[in-house]
Amino acid sequence: MDKIRQRILEKAAELFRSHGIKHTTMDDIASALGMSKKTLYHHFENKTALVKHTTGYIFDKIQAQIRRICENISDPYEQFFAVRKTMQEMLRNTTHHSAFYELQKWYPEVADELKKRKLEAIMRFLTVNLELGHKAGYYKKSLNDEFIKHFYYGNSLLMMNPEVYPPDKFERTRVGREFLKLFLTSISTKKGREQLKNIEQKFSL
């Protein structure tokens, strides 16, 4: 990727996280980068294009990290917590909690494409993870895997909704942590719950 283009995407991501997508203008981004708007528009024809490429850029970085985790970790619980930890680290400077939820309202086509990619990525991850859990005797075989995958995906979207979890009442990382523990406990066998406790201790939960 062109270095200038990458620099723009990194700065746009930073500003979207801290100020929100709607309230971050092309002027703000150009100013923060110390470049002219002409240069910015040379690389991205308008804000919609920049929002689309920025969200895709962030998504691809996260997916690359998740792939590395799955390649190096075979325990299904540890995969989940390692993924969560990685996402927290990558998004820890996000102060505008509804920044990416704004996509649905202001950039619905970008949001729809991102949700489609997210659904595909989550289904891939969960398919492999559930298989590992079943083989280890950690996950209940009596539950329908397709339902489990869609239940997880649906709640991953719900957790980002500020109307459901107002930021002033629910700290974002806490919502994610509590949901993950509840989700994994609900699909686990007795043997699995014992292993889950071990992994929780490892990640200091």
In this predicted model, what pLDDT tens digit does every residue of 182-194 receive, in sequence order? 999 999 999 999 9
Number of domains in the chain: 1
Coil/strand/helix, residue 21: coil
pLDDT on residue 34: 97
Which tokens sit at 186? Answer: 């609900």
Two tokens, residue 197: 């406790």
pTM of the model: 0.88
Contact 15, 31 (CB under 8 A): no
In a domain, 1, yes or no: no
What is the rounded CA–CA span in Å between residue 113 and residue 163?
Answer: 22
- Percent of the chain scored above 70 by pLDDT? 95
In a domain, 41, yes or no: no
* 47: in domain: no
Each residue of 147-201: pLDDT tens digit?
999 999 999 888 888 889 888 899 888 898 999 999 999 999 999 999 999 999 9
Q: Which amino acid is at 20?
A: G
Residue 88 lies in a domain: yes
Quote the domain boundaries for residue 144: 55-202
Report yes or no on 62 lying in a domain: yes
**Assigned domain for 4 exists:** no
Residue 5 domain-assigned? no
**CATH number for position 73:** 1.10.357
